[in-house]
Amino acid sequence: MWSTRARSAGVVLLGEEGEVLNRHPLQARGGGVFETKVEGVGVGTRYKFEVDGQAFPDPYARFLPEGVHGPAVVWENRFEFRHASPKLRADELVIYEMHVGTFTEEGTYRAAAEKLPFLKDLGVNCLELLPVSSFPGTRGWGYDGVAHFAPYKEYGSPEQLQAFIDRAHELGFVVLLDMVYNHFGPDGNYLGAYSPEYFTDRHKTPWGDGLDYSNPFMRHLVLDSAEHWLREYRFDGFRLDATQDIQDDSEKHVLRELAEHVHALGGGHFLFCEDYRNSPHLVTEFGTDGIWADDFHHQVRVTLTGEQDSYYSAFTPGAAGLARLIERGWLYEGQQWPLENEHLEGGRRGQSAGALRAENFVYFIQNHDQIGNRALGDRLPETAGLEGYLTASALLLFLPMTPLLFQGQEWAASTPFQFFSDHHGELGQLVSQGRLSEFGHFAAFQGPEMQKKIPDPQAESTFVTSKLNWNEIGEGEHARTLELYRALLALRREDPVLRHASRGDLQAGAVGNVLWVRRWHDGQERVLLANFGQEEATWPQVPDAGMANLSPMLSTQELAPGRLAPRSTVILGGARG
């Protein structure tokens, strides 16, 4: 253990009932490092470290069967993987974001594995798990994790997680893990009890003092954690949460070192960033594989719904904005951001994305944040209507950028995904109160009666309500949506033009409420026409598109020739010219 506080250190071995079996002192080796060798300690032995006689959980624990405040167990990787990871390129990925606890009724790795053939038939090829690093309580999103080597006990054992990944590899999926390296949760974080130097007040985050990545112990904790998940569990890469809050004043930024480390381990590993700054340097300088491009989601939503609350006020509804975004990659390239933000130098957001490839942008019309951070956790079909939702879905899967789907999106799931947690005592009360105050300035939630409609994140019912209802996939509009998603994903996978992920062979424009997007490759052309308006429209004149040579390949509604119904889409295909 490393502790700058300890005058004396030890390890205490515990029985299954918590009784002390033995104590062993650790010898000081200098620089805050203490160590000893204990003979006869087998796999499954429970233990804690002691700092000046006070026992704490091991921040490097491999498993915490009693939760983040309990003892760690000695763990050895004995799982026999049978299937190699598929070799997919970044431009082939179709990402499916999954929260293990709500993906199925059971909320376990085993239950999720049983649904994998359904996802293979759907046509996605990349699974992204919301964080599974151990976090407090019996339910949560996982973004308040505190033990970045120990999988969360409520989802199953380490071996069951390994079996899930092995089954995914067998079916042709790569598997990404959402990692939170920008902060530690407030409940169960014992790093400061060992060494306050893990953190620094030189950097501030929304959660308090920043992680001090100039400290080699903090830096190696993250690098070792990443290697652990890739080697021991055979994950294929990571999505990093809120990288704008991973602040580092070292000569080499920790994100660059992490990207180098992940890619050097082999296996075709991926590293994606969630970062609202529209900063291409995350790819061009740091070497990550892509960035979540929030602008696409925001522009689609305001165009479909007209919403202008919070950050949506920075986006102007309309097909013209979508066309510009598609050609530029994102909308904000250094313009003044109208909202207050401490991470934006001079209040300007973004830089030109001209150096980025199509696959470097992760586009989505839904994700866990953009649903769950809404007051009611309502999904896009509820606010945009089904036809508007299908129009946005067709656009997402037509574009060459990397698409991300959120669980249940493929059948327009009726279940919400709400913000839920399980904190105890005063912290739990603060979470509930904070959720209410968060929406105090939203026009739709003014007054005590409207505030009562906001689900309490601490209530178990909020968690239960967020579980997918798999019984609805064969019913009515859900079945229709699922059929369309399967057709769109098959077209994206099999069509030679749509398989060719290039921004150089892409053009977009708008005529009134109608968006047109052209893609071409090897003498073939595909054109998407999407009517985002509430009135019927005629097909627009698309520059350089020989419309007479193009015939319908797919449509979201029954369409008269040359006409676009409100909130409808048609994809045309044929030879160029």
**Residues annotated as catalytic (active site), given as ranges:** 241, 274
Tokens at 488, concatenated: 């769109």
d(CA 423, CA 566): 46
Distances (CA, A) of 121 to 112, 173, 479, 544: 15, 12, 14, 36
d(CA 278, CA 351): 6
* CB 165, CB 84: distance < 8 Å: no
Question: What's the one-letter identity of residue 115?
Answer: K
d(CA 192, CA 22): 25
Q: State the pairing for strand pair 361-363/290-292.
A: parallel
Q: State the pairing for strand pair 270-274/237-240.
A: parallel
Provide DSSP, 122-189.
HT--EEEEPP-EE-SSS---STT--EEEEE-GGG--HHHHHHHHHHHHHTT-EEEEEE--S---SSS-
Longest dimension (CA), the chain: 83
Tokens at 544, concatenated: 């350089």
Question: What's the one-letter identity of residue 279?
Answer: S
* CB 496, CB 524: distance < 8 Å: yes
* CB 221, CB 190: distance < 8 Å: no
CA angle 437, 443, 444 (to 5 degrees): 90
Tell me which residue of 60, 305, 65 sits closest to 198, measured CA to CA. 60
* CB 500, CB 508: distance < 8 Å: no
Alpha helices in 280-424 (DSSP H): 281-284, 294-305, 319-328, 368-372, 380-398
d(CA 126, CA 402): 11
d(CA 344, CA 342): 6
Convert 507-516 to b/e letters by CB count within 10 Å (16 or more is b).
bbbbbebbbb
